[in-house]
A = this chain, B = another copy of it.
Amino acid sequence: MKMTPHSVDDYQYMIDIHTRWNDNDVYGHINNAVYYTWFDTCVNNFLIENDLLDIGNSKTIGLVVDTGCQYFVPLSYPETVQTGLRVGRIGNSSVRYEIAVFGEGEKMAAAQGHFVHVYVDEKTRKPAAISAHMQDILSKLLPPG
């Protein structure tokens, strides 16, 4: 189950994340839970930039049903890290996103994990099929081959 750190080349969509003072825990490293707030931010930034999410207005919203992360190298405030996003699998109403975190100027992941969204109707909270348009955009983040 132990993963090998990925390279920045394995991820097509990258964003910078400015670390914050209180991301560090008492041991002087970014706390493990904080990585998941970055996963959330990376996935939602991608969805918003591609007009797949309009917070407060979208009829379909993504609920998180499964997350995981492996931590290879500690990171610390005040460095600016990068998160890379790719798509592991596109299901009928769910998407497995894969996210890696890179320390400032690093090419190999300091941590990497996943985040599974089930898309549901905002009102009924019942699963909603992923549109052909969304499938099309997400498929650009599938690994080649």
Bound Cα distance A32, B24 (Å): 14
Supposing A45-B78, A78-B45 touch, asked if A26 and B40 sit within 8 A by C-beta, the answer is no
Bound Cα distance A105, B66 (Å): 23
> Is B26's CB under 8 angstroms from A28's CB?
yes
> Is A37's CB under 8 angstroms from B33's CB?
yes
> Is A40's CB under 8 angstroms from B31's CB?
yes
Name the distance in Å between A142's Cβ and chain B's nearest Cβ. Answer: 20
Q: How many copies of this kind of chain does the complex include?
A: 4
Interface of A is mostly: mixed
A27 interface neighbour in B61, B69, B115, Cβ under 8 Å:
B61
A34 interface neighbour in B1, B18, B33, Cβ under 8 Å:
B33
List CB contacts (< 8 Å) of A74-100 with chain B. 74, 76-78
Pairs A-B, 10 closest by C-beta atoms: A68-B68, A33-B36, A21-B40, A32-B64, A20-B41, A33-B37, A21-B41, A21-B44, A22-B31, A24-B26
